[in-house]
Chains A and B, each alone.
Chain A
Amino acid sequence: MVRKLLAGTTTVLLLAGCGGVGSGGDTGAAATLTTMGFGLGDEIATTRADLAGKAIAPATVKIGGSAFDAQQFLAAVASHTPPDLVYLDRQLLGTYAARGTLEPLTDCIAKQHIDVGQYRPAALKETTLDGKVYGLPEFYDNRVLLVNDAAVEAGGLTSQDLAPADRAKLAAAAQRLTTRTNGTLSRIGFDPKIPEFLPLWAKANGVQMLSDDGRTAHLDDPRLAGALTYAKSLIDAQGGWGAVKAFRDSFDFFGEKNPFKQGQLAATLMDDWYLNVLANYSPDVRVTAAPFTDTAGTPIDWVTGSAWVIPAGSTHKDQACAWIKTMTEAPTWVAAAKARAEKRRAAGKAFTGVYTGNRVADEEIFGRLVQLKDRPAFDAAVRTVLKAQDSAFTMPASPAGSEFKTAWQNAVNRVLSGEQQPADALRQAQQEAQRALDAAVARR
């Protein structure tokens, strides 16, 4: 009993016992750098890791393979053996940067002559806290509206009927496209993707959920409650949260029987990478992408992604800096994109591009490598995502990013399960979030 109890609590031992993944001192030539949170899952990763490895030879990089795990990272830092390189969600960066755990990249940028202008400003904003850059951005994950043309036509509508500017029309279309078979859902009309996309809905209603300095929450804004009320009404009109969630959980999202192919989903807000999934598994599916907009029709795109950071305790900071520079620069991305394009071509499939946090790389990738003339649906979809990028916003880095996110997600879940009204839930979230932000700022 006591042991289990302690498992969650006593860190001292855990920190001393589990140890870190760091290597010894900086011995120069044959150093081995350690990483955390990054895996060589596909050609985009391996191609770039190879090039970055060459940039710091003869030093080598040992790549761990699993996703970023806060507990593992804390243990490594507290036992003074942090990894040299960490790959994490840009939304988490502020939490660690604010505590002095991450090395500001000011020196690294100057010494390695890194052109920060190549990175997309919105992504760089996520990795910047109090004016200092702490991480180099990787992917650039956009959110757009994906429409399953076949399903929409089956419901007697066109993708035009799902134009998000007219919220009443969107709600009507969502309801009309929803189908039930024997009393259970057989098609979702339009999935608003809450809780996860709440920031997108917020922005579309004129609310920035977190102030630019990452210290003030704006969750109790009545306009946010309005957005949440609307999104909840969409789900209610399609059978309620329980039914929608249960049906969605049964989808084979990443396979040949994906909901677009199966006609289980008529339209959804979605991450751009889902186009790659569809192009890979269901190249014949007819899909239309459109930017999500506010009620005036202005496009809105919420972007997230990962970043490379260097822990303050890293013993190979210079090599680490050179490595992440290479990982995120344009020629490296282009080489990786070429590798994927070739792989897709060999399989007779379409290459729909890689959306990176590097503007220069994207110009090359989408200007030259992505050739979709023979697949007009995907071609148009890709153009839409690229266009959406012009109106991208990101959540600012925050010293309590994780608590902030938990607060608003819990609020949405309470609303969805019918436990609380939107205004009440968001008021509670505001209190929780602001308290956490204040505490994090006070401790700095």
Chain B
Amino acid sequence: MKRRTREAWAAYAFLSPWMIGFVIFMAIPMVASLVLSFTDYDALRSPDAVGWANYQRLLEDPAVRRSLVNTLVYTVMSVPATMAVSLALAALLTRAGRRSAGFFRTVFYLPEITPKVAVGVLFLILFNGQAGLVNAVLGLVGIDGPQWSTDGPWVKPGLVLMHLWSVGSTVVIYLAALRGVPRELYEAAELDGASAWQRFRRITVPMISGALFFTLIVQTIAALQSFDEAYTAFYGSAASATYSNDAALFYLIYLFQQAFEFLHLGYASAMAWLLFVVILAITLVQVRLSRRFVYYEGGDR
């Protein structure tokens, strides 16, 4: 008993850096932002209580609707694209020799450590409608590339393509999952005459469904909070902000503008809580659906 207590204390001691960090950097600010969301606050003067006014304004503000739709559309495009590309790359890597797989794994991961701000600037250079590399390559195969940075309908696809630049961590997760699929399942299926597609569909996908589900959740949340690349490309500097495009106004960008450009920190806090609710709802739906699609080895289903 005594030993257990001591061990419990030791555990808490080891956990304490995280717990202290959580309280200071997450719990307190979250409570603070909840309180601030019911105030008119500009960070320069003391907050004024305004009741539900900020939340009411959320419903009326067309830019909130616009930015939320932008963000959802971006998420719907970017998450499946990221997962598909990552899975394809990971599948290729499993076929590579051990040595070269290690090399390519590193190469795929490198863009992850590229600062997002650099990626945003790179977007403007690569996707320039006239002098950009992307359109130059498209031109080689006879395609007249679009104006990625000014033509509304092409802004989000451009940002999605740019986001695919950093699929490294998802590739690594899928690679590990693919390596965990028992060889003998494939051998048995092959003996039974299953095609490559059938083997992929019936063995690979169910066996790595846990990893797929995990990345789905993580990628969805990340996409809904997308900020850096689009902000740098369209809003970051005074010069780029001049040519902002409504199609790139993601929810967090609008939130940041409200908070730190227009000094409506109360309203921005309310926006943050709305996003929190949206993300929570989407995640709950995903978890609910996952019960039908995700297979856990050793689980009772």
Q: Nearest chain-B residue to A95 (Cβ)?
A: B263
Given A1-B279, A8-B272, A10-B29, check contact A242 B260 (CB 8 Å).
no
Q: How long is the Cα–Cα vector from A5 to B245 in the complex, in angstroms?
A: 23
Q: Are B44 and A78 in contact (CB under 8 A)?
A: yes
Chain A residues lying within 8 Å of B190, measured Cβ to Cβ, are none
A6–B241 alpha-carbon span in the complex (Å): 23
Contacts of B26 in A (CB 8 A): 2-3, 6
Known A8-B259, A8-B268, A10-B33: A184·B130 in contact at CB below 8 Å: yes
Given A9-B255, A74-B43: A246 in contact with B129 (beta carbons within 8 A) = yes
Q: List 21 A-B contacts (CB under 8 A).
A: A4-B225, A5-B272, A5-B275, A6-B272, A8-B272, A10-B33, A11-B259, A12-B29, A13-B29, A70-B260, A71-B260, A74-B43, A74-B44, A77-B43, A241-B150, A243-B130, A246-B149, A400-B262, A402-B261, A413-B243, A419-B246
Could you tell me the distance in whole angstroms from the C-beta of A53 to the nearest C-beta in chain B?
28
- The segment from A104-112, A116-124, A280-288, A403-411 that touches chain B is A403-411
**When the two chains form their complex, are residues B32 and A99 in contact, meaning their CB atoms are under 8 A apart?**
no
Contact A196 B242 (CB under 8 A): yes
- Decide yes or no: A1 and B221 within 8 Å by CB, A13-B29, A417-B152 being known contacts: yes
Choice from B36, B41, B150, B262 contacting A436 with Cβ under 8 Å: B262
**Whole-angstrom distance between the Cβ of A187 and the nearest chain B Cβ:** 12
CB pair B149–A99 under 8 Å, yes or no, is no
- Establish whether residues A100 and B244, one from each chain, have CB atoms under 8 Å apart when the complex forms: no
Contact of B244 among A78, A246, A409 (CB under 8 A): A409
Q: A410 touches which one: B124, B132, B150, B244 (CB < 8 A)? A: B244
Give complex CA distance A277, B1 in Å.
79
Within 8 A of B (CB), among A34-77: 70-71, 74-75, 77
Indicate whether B74 reaches chain A with its CB closer than 8 angstroms.
Answer: no
**B residues 256-277 in Cβ contact with A at 8 Å:** 256-257, 259-263, 265, 268-269, 271-272, 275-276
What secondary structure prevails in chain B residues at the interface with A?
helix
Indicate if B30 sits at the interface (CB-CB under 8 A).
yes
Q: Which residue of A lies closest to B253 (CB)?
A: A8
For the complex formed, measure the closest distance between the CB of B193 and the CB atoms of chain A, giving whole angstroms: 45
Q: Is the CB of A242 within 8 A of B129?
A: yes
Q: Are B131 and A413 in contact (CB under 8 A)?
A: no
Q: Min CB distance, B128 to chain A, in Å?
A: 5
Q: Give every chain B residue within 8 A of A10 (Cβ-Cβ).
A: 29-30, 32-33, 36, 269, 272
- CA–CA, A406 and B241, complex, Å: 9
With an 8 A cutoff between CB atoms, is A15 at the interface? yes
| 1/0 contact string of A229-244 vs chain B (CB within 8 Å) | 0000000000001110
Q: A2-B26, A9-B268, A413-B244 are in contact. List 5 more A-B contacts (CB 8 A).
A: A6-B26, A8-B227, A9-B271, A9-B272, A13-B29
A74-B263, A242-B147 known; A101 vs B44 contact (CB < 8 Å): yes
One digit per residue, 1 when the CB lies within 8 angstroms of any chain A CB and 0 when it does not, for chain B 128-149 equals 1111100000000000001101
* Closest B residue, CB atoms, query A312: B44
**Among A9, A185, A409, which residue has its beta carbon within 8 angstroms of that of B242?**
A409
Q: Which residue of B lies closest to A414 (CB)?
A: B246
Structural contact, A9 and B246, CB atoms closer than 8 A: no
Number of interface residues of B (CB under 8 A): 55
Cα separation A96 to B45 with both chains bound (whole Å):
11
B28 contacts A by Cβ under 8 Å: yes
Measured between beta carbons, the chain B residues less than 8 angstroms from A101 are: 44
A3 CA / B167 CA spacing, docked (Å) = 21
Once the chains are docked, how many angstroms separate the CA of A293 from the CA of B276?
52
Q: Does A273 contact B (CB under 8 A)?
A: no
Residues of chain A in range 247-266 having any CB-CB distance to chain B below 8 Å? 247, 249-250
Separation of A77 and B45 alpha carbons in the complex (Å): 10
Q: Is B104 an interface residue (CB 8 A)?
A: no
Report if A331 contacts B (CB, 8 A): no
- A195 lies within 8 A of chain B by Cβ: yes
Interface residue from A9, A406, A443 paired with B257 (Cβ < 8 Å): A406
Q: Is the CB of B261 within 8 A of A70?
A: yes
Tell me the residues in window 25-55 of chain B with beta carbons closer than 8 Å to chain A beta carbons. 25-26, 28-30, 32-33, 36, 40-45, 48
Count of chain A to chain B residue pairs whose CB atoms are closer than 8 Å in the complex: 153
B24 lies within 8 A of chain A by Cβ: yes
> A99 near B246 (CB under 8 angstroms)?
no
Contacts of A81-137 to chain B: CB distance below 8 A = 95-96, 99-101
Interface string of B207-231 (1 = CB under 8 A from A): 0000000000000011001010000
A436 CA to B24 CA in the complex, in Å? 34
Q: Given A9-B33, A10-B30, A246-B129: A403 and B262 within 8 A (CB)?
A: yes
Q: What B residues does A243 contact at CB under 8 A?
A: 129-130, 147
Q: Is A345's CB within 8 Å of the partner chain B?
A: no
Interface residue? B151 (CB, 8 A): yes
- B244 adjacent to A5 (CB under 8 Å): no
Residue A167 CB within 8 A of the other chain: no
Indicate whether A185 sits within 8 Å of B246 (C-beta atoms), given known contacts A74-B44, A402-B262: no
Query: Is there a chain A Cβ closer than 8 Å to B252's Cβ?
Result: yes
Complex: A13 Cα to B29 Cα, angstroms: 6
Partner of B263, one of A99, A241, A413: A99
Q: Which residues of A contact B131 (CB under 8 A)?
A: 246-247, 249-250
- Interface hub of B124, B252, B261, B279 (most chain A Cβ within 10 A): B261
Write the nearest CB–CB distance from B291 to chain A, whole angstroms.
Answer: 21
A245 and B43: CB pair below 8 A? no
Q: How far apart are A258's CB and chain B's nearest CB, in angstroms?
A: 15
Task: Report the minimum CB–CB distance from A252 to chain B (whole Å).
Answer: 11
Contacts known (A74-B260, A409-B242); A11 close to B36, Cβ less than 8 A? yes
Contact status B268-A100, CB under 8 Å: no
Known pairs A1-B279, A8-B227; A443 contacts B130 (CB<8 A): no
Contact: A13 with B260, CB < 8 Å? no
Complex contacts, B257 vs chain A, CB 8 Å: 406
Instruction: Report the nearest B residue to A443, measured CB to CB.
Output: B40
CB interface residues, A 414-429, toward B, < 8 Å: 414, 416-419
Find out whether the CB atom of A13 lies under 8 angstroms from the CB atom of B32. yes
Q: How far is the CA of A15 from the CA of B149 in the complex (A)?
A: 35
B24 and A13 contact, CB distance less than 8 A: yes
Q: Which residues of B have CB within 8 Å of A5?
A: 225, 272, 275-276, 279
Most chain A CB within 10 A, of B43, B128, B256, is at B43
Q: In the complex, which residues 81-139 of chain B have their Cβ closer than 8 Å to any Cβ of chain A?
A: 124, 128-132
Determine the residue in chain B with the shortest Cβ distance to A6.
Answer: B29
CA distance A13 to B259 in the complex (A): 14
